């Protein structure tokens, strides 16, 4: 049976699956005298499938690499690709077991070492930390990536949280970004540009049945993204550290969920970085150095 770590305080219930990449199984808030799923809940039969979970970590890159081509230090490495679109997608830690370092009623910490998995789909060695904590109205997720190889290499990471989307009372969303990468099948067609109307969420508005797959950038770091669930449901503020330069909104037609993903690198960012594009969010890790970043989901108190 897959291990499940249950975290709970007065405002949140959260489930963590260490053996499935530290994925989140559920995220609920206390609302009107009961628990309400804010994050897309995972059926117990799917606890071993990160893609079916409420959220998972993307590392050591976020989102897609075209044709699985990883550009590093003037070289190009061919990574394994997925059959549906021919890209290397979402890193290679989400289906791997992580070691539980510590846990209590409101927090847990996990560790990962790539050297334990010789078949890992990445050419360099790294270690990672992943932690979750509840503090009042806040649910915080933190990831850290460390280069334990002998050479510097470019990397990135991000989180892929899914949220509940009721077609009868669609959530309202606000995203404080002023530019967007044009995408085709999840891959950038060029540099960031102005946001066209169907994708413009700079003002709070309903997430209707339009299909959306948009990579936003140039984020206002002083403002959270907002998600308002239903006519009388809670407002959730998403805060993200500056390392998460991009927010990806994914809302497929006819599905009872959407995703709003804080990620450091742009989709196919390693190719764009190698071509000299600015604003890709790709960082280069020298040996024995690390990068970390957190994002938080905060239940807004009434009247604020």
**Domain 5-299 belongs to what topology?**
Beta-galactosidase; Chain A, domain 5 (2.70.98)
Please count the CA atoms within 13 angstroms of the CA of 97 that sit on its side-chain side.
8
- Which tens digit of pLDDT belongs to each residue from 77-130? 999 999 999 999 999 999 999 999 999 999 999 999 999 999 999 999 999 999
Residue 204 has pLDDT above 80, yes or no: yes
Residue 301 has pLDDT above 80, yes or no: no
**Dihedral (CA of 50, 53, 58, 64) sign:** positive
For 99, phi and psi rounded to 5 degrees? Answer: -90, 130
Give the angle subtended at the CA of 152 by the CAs of 149 and 157, to the nearest 5°. 85
Q: pTM to 2 decimals?
A: 0.97
- Which tens digit of pLDDT belongs to each residue from 13-69? 999 999 999 999 999 999 989 999 999 999 999 999 999 999 999 999 999 999 999
Q: How confident is the model at residue 304 (pLDDT cuts 50, 70, 90)?
A: low
- Which tens digit of pLDDT belongs to each residue from 205-263? 999 888 999 999 999 999 999 999 988 889 999 999 999 999 999 999 999 999 999 99
């Amino acid at each position: 049976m897959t291990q499940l770590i249950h975290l709970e305080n007065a405002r949140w219930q959260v489930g963590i699956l260490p053996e499935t990449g530290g994925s989140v199984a559920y995220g609920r808030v206390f609302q009107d005298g009961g628990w309400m799923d804010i994050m897309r809940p995972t059926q117990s039969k799917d606890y071993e499938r990160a893609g079916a979970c409420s959220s998972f970590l993307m590392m050591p890159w976020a989102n897609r690499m075209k044709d699985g081509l990883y550009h590093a230090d003037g070289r190009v490495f061919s990574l394994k690709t997925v059959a549906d679109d021919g890209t290397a997608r979402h890193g290679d830690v989400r289906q791997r077991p992580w070691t539980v370092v510590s846990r209590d009623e409101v927090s847990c910490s996990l560790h990962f070492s790539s050297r334990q998995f010789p078949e890992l789909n990445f050419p360099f060695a790294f270690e990672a930390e992943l932690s979750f904590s509840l503090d009042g109205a806040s649910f915080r997720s933190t990831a850290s990536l460390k280069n334990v190889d002998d050479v510097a290499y470019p990397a990135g990471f991000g989180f892929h949280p899914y949220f509940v989307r009721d077609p009868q009372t669609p959530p309202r969303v606000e995203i404080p970004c002023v530019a967007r990468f044009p995408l085709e099948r999840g891959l950038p067609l060029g540099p960031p540009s102005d946001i066209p109307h169907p994708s413009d969420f700079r003002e709070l508005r309903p997430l209707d049945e339009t299909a959306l797959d948009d990579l936003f950038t140039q984020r206002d770091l002083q403002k959270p993204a907002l998600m308002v669930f239903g006519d009388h449901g809670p407002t959730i503020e998403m805060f993200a550290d500056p390392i998460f330069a991009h927010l990806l909104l994914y809302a497929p037609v006819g599905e009872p969920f959407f995703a709003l993903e804080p990620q450091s690198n742009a989709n196919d960012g390693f190719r764009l970085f190698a071509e000299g594009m600015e604003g890709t969010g790709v960082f280069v890790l020298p040996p024995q150095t690390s990068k970390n970043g957190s994002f938080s989901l905060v239940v807004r108190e009434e009247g604020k």
